[in-house]
Structure 1
Amino acid sequence: MPRLSLVVPAYKVQGYLAECLDSVLGQDYTDFEIIAVDDCSPDGSGAILDEYAERDSRVHVIHLTENVGLGRARNAGLEKAAGDYVLFLDSDDTLTDGALTAIANRLEDTGDPEILVYDYARSYWDGRILPNQRADLLKGDGPDVFPLADRPQLLDLLQIVWNKAYSRDFIARHDLTFPPGYYEDAPWTFPSMISAERIALLDRVCVMYRQRREGGNILKTVSRKHFDVFDQYRRVFEFVDAHPELSQWRERLFRKMVNHYLTVLERPDRLPQDARAEFFHRAAEDYRARVPKDFQRPAGSRGHKYSLLERDAYTTMAGATTAARLRQAVKTRARTAIKRSKRSAMGIFYQSQLKLPLDENLALFSAYWSRSVSCNPAAIDAELARLAPHIRRVWAIRPDDVDRIPEGVEYVRVGSREYWAALARAKYLVNNVNFADRVVKREGQVHLQTHHGTPLKTMGLDQRKYPASTDMSFDKLLERSDRWDFSLSSNRFSTAVWERVYPCSFTSLESGYPRNDILVNATSHDVRRARAALGLADGTKAFLYMPTHREYQPGFVPSLDLARVAEDLGPDVTLLVRGHYFYGSSPHVAELRRSGRIVDVSGHTRVEELYLAADALITDYSSAMFDYAILDRPIITYAPDWDIYSAVRGTYFNLLQEPPGAVATSQADLIGLLVSDAYDGQEAAEHRAAFRRRFCEFDDGRAAERVVRRVFLGEATLLPFVPFAKRSHAPTPAQALELVEQA
């Protein structure tokens, strides 16, 4: 039997769940179990829990068949808990290092109390860590173990369950359970604290309480669901009524109730405007029904609000609230005027276009900071032409890149009047990065963020941990990301990352990457055409070398001696070398092109065609590996500077331990792999198979159609995925040649 049981309910937390579980499983204290409850979560939370359970026997998963809410999900976990003590941990929060050791030691030192209360801190998306404002209540002299009567001020702590360890015997003895509803902590916290005769304290931050930027907390949402608070305090007082020996707590609990009701009334992010009067009258009814005899109201403005409730004087309360709001409105109008003056810098023309109606049949596309017609936006463009030809498709292109635009593509030059008009009036804005800060998100516009790869390196807010890798403004980044309506994903891994590092209110669209449809659907003719365009003769083996950007290098400095590699591989091998798009065409590679066996493909706009043409991929940390894996062709990871790259840029997993194929950490190792054909051996194939299942799970050749039907045609249900085992992919160059010869 474990010493500690941690109950972790999960619902729509796939972006945070792994971090939560890692914070527990990484503790130096090991005598615990995790009872994880999938509350019928519609996202990938349940699958994440199952993956952790497969890897660690201390994780036990319960899958509920319907969504029952946080309280009843905790009950389900509580029924399975076997530890001496039960701890509750919300699945977007984390334990601090050493927390369980500190908790276990304190339990032992205090002789196994009924409840141990420990500290927490609030962690914000922008990196701020703020202490518990009432942390002082956990300090002080006195006995190690005491009843609440000795320190009644502990009831002034936030009424939460996850800052306490509860004796399982104590829970059973008092038949403690969580009720349904949204304020379910109150009927657990108050009865448990006033019933406990042996309470101990731990003056240590054990939990990081995540303050999510967007969503995640119904208690900070405008809704009638806040009326649930009345049912919860009814349960609290029914408990006191059933235990006359606890009547001494009635007045303090009454104050907690009234203050809670007033908080709901006073916060603008709680009640709908048309529900405020009804809520006030319900609160007044509870006040008069439960006010203790000879109750003394608090002094000052707080006491005045108590008296308004006692008299059910909603009109007076509403008048005072209106006056406060008028004062706030004056401040808001001043701020708005300042913002308007700043927006005037965008140009009078853009402002005038923003006042015109949206063009419901106009879509504006951009890719890689408007450098090309490529990537996911290009694939969506093509499918949109097929399924919704009535929608006009226009591309935003930088003036110095217009000569690279394919014939027949309609475009506007970035910065021109036509560009600003399209941004202002297009119903659909599609990009694989972000539009400029000055772009205004209009009501009714649909912003589709396609991204341009599965992330190995840290992205978004996670880059704050690696300041050497970026000088971006994260506030500005999130303001841009707030415009997204949809965020595309090709695997659950990416979905979880995007939702956590861009904490905005977009909808994740697990469709697969449209740009990768061709890798599934291409024919032998497509493969041969791609090779012919690069001048690759039949029988020539082509290795595509795609190193990624390194923040600690000022330019494209290949870590390979390309001439040496070409020489060692022989005349039947061609190296296709593509520098990261940040670098443009590399003069270093251009100098080596004269060898005849090195082709600089840095300027090729359709990387998917390079994938089709190549027999194998050599890369380091580029997201190309995730796309190329769809082809089920060999991938060689060449990572001579893994320690430096992972330290400077940060990564989401150890590529050397979970590679998509063979791994080389030196040029000699790489050449040895390529010459011996070990890069295509059984071990490499096993790595590739596991990698494909993890990262190519949604790429079945119909991603573009899914996106167009969902985003542009408004279909609510996504097309079903082709089962992974039944998916095809483009033929290899050798297979394509064989098919031609057979024909």
Structure 2
Amino acid sequence: MTLIQGLKKLSQNSILFEKLVYCGFLVSGFINRFLFLILHLLPINRKKIVFCNMKGIRYGDNPMYISERLHEKKRDYEIVWLLNKNVEMDIPDYVKRVDYGYWNNMYQLSTSAVWVDSNLKDFGTYKSRKQLYVQTWHGSYGIKKIALDLGKNLPKFDKVLYPFNSKIADVIVSNSKKTSQIYKRAFGYNKKLLEVGSPRNDIFFNDPNEIKNKVFKFFGIREAHILLYAPTFRSDYNMDFFNIDMERLHEELVKKYGGDWYILVRLHPNNLKEAKHIKYNDYVLNASDYSVMQELLVAADVLLTDYSSCMFDYITKPKTCFIYAPDLDKYENDRGNYWRMSELPFPLATTNDELFDNIRSFDNEEYVQSVKKLHELVGSCETGSAADKVADYIIDFVEKGRK
């Protein structure tokens, strides 16, 4: 839990404390803007592009694939990544790594031509017309409501932060007509949308064998089948949802599909500290530290999740996905959903017995047809070339300026 998350949580329990924190938030925004304006007196490096993913938590997601594609196009750009000090990952040599932090962020953003981010910029961040802000977001046409669509459930801070980011963003990357509609409404956004697909989903259009071998090697396992369990973020950090009988799940997978099976458990980045509370064994492995989620999705033969938008990434090609949502009623009441679970092609279970019944009775042919209908319904834009198109958009801006 970050300091900001902690303050938000504390402020929910005290009206006075909430007002004090909110006032501090607004004041910090004015200070940020003042300092940004001073730093904008420095020259902008037209060939510098600054990337950030989830507040510096990882080198990954949509920004990573755009970053890699830009490098592949062999332009003489300075590619900067803002990353937390404790992030231990293999970063390409061509990337200039900068510690994510108040002054570093402010300086790098003020002196770069392009920003690419999967999350929100701090309130008060200033961007001139000589700069381009590409917002990729980190979800898809997911189940759970986001941003302003949360209504009264959205904290006061975020009711300011989302419209602020929509004001300074120049373009948002979208993977479907439905996603575009959500972004316009939930972010209060009325500018350019690049409906080209999600850069992180281009990977599903490539040969999966190289990535599968990479995943097998990382976990030190022989070639086998993989079920990836990837539950979504819990704002209360409650682990009650993790009550799956893993031994029986393993048995049902072997009975249904045959062969050897491993269960990889991947928690949401905001719940990483909870990973240590899960019991692992020879076939239940901790995948929360694996850096690139999309590679796990490519390697997996089956996905098990609840409300995470990764299910929609996973079926870019119609791969088998099951939903296990024991807290369905509570989650819908707390947050609200864009979809009724019955509208989706994924077999839904709220108990262990229902989950195992769904595995036993799974009809792949019927499932594939349902996935195709969903893609048509949302107006999917996935073609495997999203990163390339976003990279070209950035190159056009860097070399020609704002039109």
TM-score range, shorter chain: 0.7 to 0.9
Structure-1 residue corresponding to 2:17: none
Taking the aligned partners of 2:104 and 2:147, their CA distance within structure 1 comes to 31
Amino acid aligned to 1:431 = D
Structure 1 residue 433 corresponds to structure 2 residue 119 = yes
Contact 2:120–2:161 (CA<8 Å) still a contact in 1?
no
Q: Choose which of 371, 376, 383 in structure 2 pairs with 1:700.
A: 383
Change (3 A) 1:556 1:483: farther
Structure-2 residue corresponding to 1:689: 372
Helix, strand or coil at the partner of 2:270: coil
Structure-1 residue corresponding to 2:230: 546
Taking the aligned partners of 2:240 and 2:71, their CA distance within structure 1 comes to 37
Q: Deviations over 1:586-615 (max 9, x none)?
A: 1122xx22x201011111110111011110
Matches within 5 A, 1:477-626: 477-538=162-223, 540-551=224-235, 553-554=237-238, 557-566=241-250, 569=253, 572-585=260-273, 586-589=275-278, 592-593=279-280, 595-626=281-312
Change (3 A) 1:602 1:658: same
Per-residue deviation at 1:653?
1.4
Matches within 5 A, 1:17-28: none
Per-residue deviation at 1:477?
2.4
Change (3 A) 1:582 1:496: same
Change (3 A) 1:446 1:413: same
Taking the aligned partners of 1:629 and 1:342, their CA distance within structure 2 comes to 42
Structure-2 residue corresponding to 1:177: none
Amino acid aligned to 2:150 = Q
Structure 1 residue 410 corresponds to structure 2 residue 96 = yes
Matches within 5 A, 1:293-372: 345-346=31-32, 351-372=37-58
Change (3 A) 1:343 1:714: closer
Helix, strand or coil at the partner of 1:434: coil
Per-residue deviation at 1:437?
1.6
Amino acid aligned to 2:91 = P
Structure-1 residue corresponding to 2:148: 461
Amino acid aligned to 1:681 = N
Contact 2:134–2:172 (CA<8 Å) still a contact in 1?
yes
Amino acid aligned to 2:128 = R
Amino acid aligned to 1:610 = L
Change (3 A) 1:662 1:485: same
Q: Deviations over 1:80-120 (max 9, x none)?
A: xxxxxxxxxxxxxxxxxxxxxxxxxxxxxxxxxxxxxxxxx
Amino acid aligned to 1:583 = N
Matches within 5 A, 1:722-733: none
Taking the aligned partners of 1:596 and 1:511, their CA distance within structure 2 comes to 41
Q: Deviations over 1:427-479 (max 9, x none)?
A: 101100112123212221111000111132111211114x2x64643023211
Per-residue deviation at 1:643?
2.2
Per-residue deviation at 1:407?
4.6
Change (3 A) 1:362 1:679: same
Determine what percentage of the aligned residue pairs are the same residue: 24
Structure 1 residue 646 corresponds to structure 2 residue 329 = no
Amino acid aligned to 1:460 = A
Structure-2 residue corresponding to 1:667: 352
Taking the aligned partners of 1:437 and 1:429, their CA distance within structure 2 comes to 16
Structure-1 residue corresponding to 2:85: 399
Change (3 A) 1:370 1:405: farther
Contact 2:177–2:379 (CA<8 Å) still a contact in 1?
no
Bigger RCO of structures 1 and 2 (CA < 8 A, at least 6 apart) = 2
TM-score using structure 2 length:
0.83
Structure-1 residue corresponding to 2:21: none
Amino acid aligned to 1:489 = S
Change (3 A) 1:395 1:645: same
Larger mean Cα displacement after TM superposition, 544-553 or 379-388: 544-553
Structure-1 residue corresponding to 2:395: 712
Change (3 A) 1:373 1:653: same
Amino acid aligned to 1:422 = Q
Amino acid aligned to 2:264 = L
Structure 1 residue 386 corresponds to structure 2 residue 75 = no
Q: Choose which of 466, 470, 475 in structure 1 pairs with 2:160.
A: 475
Change (3 A) 1:713 1:477: same
Change (3 A) 1:684 1:551: same
Per-residue deviation at 1:484?
0.6
Change (3 A) 1:344 1:484: closer
Per-residue deviation at 1:573?
1.9
Per-residue deviation at 1:561?
3.1
Taking the aligned partners of 2:72 and 2:39, their CA distance within structure 1 comes to 29
Per-residue deviation at 1:555?
5.1
Taking the aligned partners of 2:33 and 2:183, their CA distance within structure 1 comes to 33
Per-residue deviation at 1:691?
2.5
Q: Deviations over 1:153-204 (max 9, x none)?
A: xxxxxxxxxxxxxxxxxxxxxxxxxxxxxxxxxxxxxxxxxxxxxxxxxxxx
Taking the aligned partners of 1:450 and 1:356, their CA distance within structure 2 comes to 27
In the TM superposition, structure 1's runs of 4+ consecutive aligned residues that sit over 6 Å from their partners are 341-344
Amino acid aligned to 2:266 = R
Taking the aligned partners of 1:435 and 1:388, their CA distance within structure 2 comes to 28
Structure 1 residue 373 corresponds to structure 2 residue 62 = no
Change (3 A) 1:642 1:375: same
Taking the aligned partners of 2:225 and 2:29, their CA distance within structure 1 comes to 56
Helix, strand or coil at the partner of 1:410: strand
